[in-house]
């Protein structure tokens, strides 16, 4: 089958902070509660929003990003999802036209109709004008409709709905209520597992949405089959052990899939709780929040010794962002695992943000950076990433360790990815 159709929508907003994640999760759950198979995606390289959407849908959430992931990767993932989905919902990033590429660019490229979420607090009929203007600004966009967030009452919601032109569907309203709001910290939302009542919040929001009007399905979208490709088994017979716990949690599901596609066997371990490393050919410490778990890192001397033993045995170790910080000598003055010369500090402002690409000996690989951490080190820079704006991140190599603030997207280059896990 070269094409397949499925209802699909991209959820965007006039700006960040309008409630896109809550709206997307509530709508996805409301459709799921009707017995529909809902597949969700996230625009951009975000880790945290997909965790919430996974809770809402009960299925893994993949990223769509023309810069880091690439067009063919997005086509393949949407086409695959449409094989079994009753509806596809994609959460945008920032405002609809913000960034390059923007959510609007992604919507146009993949033919996704757009629904806008608007914070309607303090707003009446202007709501309809903002929705209309946003969706008409780019003539190539297909308008789907609008969802109102933070409404004050049923009467307020009705007023907003009546302000819409006939061609925009009403996807319901969410009231201003702290009981359904999603808490945030310096890198964005809390991890889904940190919000004890997340299930209750998502379900409550879905019920509110369903009660605010008959929720339509978005328009049908035709997805084309991607270009045929074969993933080489460059890691056949290799076992890769991946850190995964409260401190190390920024892992793309696509990266796990791709390691398996390359032929690797995947295991998991916890640098916080485990006293030893699983037997493996290589180790990967992804990003996360090591700065929030410094006492456990500092006191886990057995894990420190195990990591040093793996390093001394010349086992390849990939350390991304928080993983690199945990392997340094200290974070905010607290001792860490001490495999990399240098010290890390959590700063008050962004230190890195955006899609980047870095050329390794086996080719260019897509990546992104999003951190408040700094790393002061005497280590030489092995490779320098390129960024559209600002300075690209450094990639360090120390013995068998490859370390950087970058988060790599493995499917962007199989040879480069495999090289990170091979001696």
Enumerate the active-site residues: 321
- Can you tell me whether residue 89 is helix, strand or coil? strand
Residue 350 near residue 372 (C-beta atoms within 8 A): yes
Of 165, 185, 190, 200, which is closest to residue 246 (Cα–Cα)?
Answer: 190
Rounded to 5°, angle at Cα 301 from 299 and 307: 130
Report the helix count and the strand count for the chain, using DSSP H and E: 12, 27
d(CA 118, CA 111): 22
**DSSP bridge pairs for 403:** 319, 396
d(CA 203, CA 223): 30
User: Maximum CA pair distance of the chain?
Assistant: 68
Residue 391 near residue 354 (C-beta atoms within 8 A): no
d(CA 20, CA 26): 10
Q: Which run of H or E residues covers position 171?
A: strand 169-175
- Cβ-based neighbours of 312, under 8 Å, separated by 6 or more: none
Phi, psi of 297 (to 5 degrees): -65, -45
Q: Which two tokens stand for residue 97?
A: 């036209």
Phi, psi of 342 (to 5 degrees): 135, 165
Phi, psi of 116 (to 5 degrees): -105, 140
Instruction: Report the half-sphere exposure of 380 (CA within 13 A, side-chain side).
Output: 3
- Cβ-based neighbours of 372, under 8 Å, separated by 6 or more: 186, 187, 346, 347, 348, 349, 350, 351
Phi, psi of 190 (to 5 degrees): -65, 155
d(CA 171, CA 300): 50
3-state helix, strand, coil in the chain (%, to 5): 30, 30, 40
């Amino acid at each position: 089958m070269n094409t397949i159709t499925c209802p699909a929508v991209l959820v965007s907003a006039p700006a960040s902070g309008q409630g896109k994640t809550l709206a997307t999760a509530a709508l996805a759950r409301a459709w799921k509660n009707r017995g529909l198979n809902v597949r969700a995606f996230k625009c951009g390289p975000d880790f945290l929003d997909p965790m919430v959407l996974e809770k809402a849908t009960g299925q893994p959430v993949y990223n769509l990003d023309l810069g880091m992931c690439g067009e063919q990767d997005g086509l393949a993932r949407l086409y695959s999802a449409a094989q079994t989905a009753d509806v596809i919902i994609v959460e945008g990033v920032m405002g609809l036209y913000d960034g390059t590429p923007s959510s609007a660019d992604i919507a146009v490229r993949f033919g996704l109709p757009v629904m806008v979420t608007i914070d309607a607090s303090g707003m009446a009929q202007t709501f309809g004008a903002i929705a209309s203007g946003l969706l008409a600004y780019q003539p190539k966009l297909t308008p789907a409709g609008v969802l109102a967030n933070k409404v004050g009452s049923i009467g307020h919601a009705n007023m907003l709905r009546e302000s819409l032109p006939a061609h925009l569907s009403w996807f319901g309203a969410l009231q201003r209520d702290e009981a359904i709001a999603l808490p945030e910290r310096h890198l964005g939302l809390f991890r889904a597992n940190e919000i004890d009542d997340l299930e209750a919040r998502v379900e409550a929001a879905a019920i509110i949405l369903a009660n605010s009007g008959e929720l339509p399905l978005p328009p049908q979208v035709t997805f084309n089959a991607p270009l045929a490709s074969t993933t080489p088994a460059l890691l056949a017979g290799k076992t890769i052990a991946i850190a995964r716990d409260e401190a190390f949690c920024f892992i793309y599901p696509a990266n796990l899939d791709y390691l398996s596609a390359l032929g690797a066997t995947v295991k998991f371990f916890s640098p916080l709780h485990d006293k030893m490393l699983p037997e493996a050919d290589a180790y990967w410490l992804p990003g996360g929040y090591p700065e929030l778990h410094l006492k456990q890192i500092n006191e886990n001397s057995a894990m420190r010794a195990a990591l040093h033993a793996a390093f001394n045995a010349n086992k390849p170790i990939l350390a991304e962002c928080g993983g690199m910080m945990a392997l340094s000598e200290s974070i905010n003055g607290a001792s860490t695992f001490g495999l990399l010369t240098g010290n890390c500090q959590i700063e008050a402002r962004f230190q890195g943000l955006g899609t980047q690409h870095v050329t390794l000996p086996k080719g260019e690989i897509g990546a992104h950076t999003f951190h408040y951490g700094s790393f002061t080190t005497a280590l030489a820079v092995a490779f320098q990433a390129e960024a559209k704006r600002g300075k690209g991140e450094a990639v360090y190599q120390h013995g068998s360790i490859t370390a950087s603030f970058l988060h790599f997207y493995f499917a962007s280059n199989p040879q480069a990815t495999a090289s990170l896990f091979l001696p």
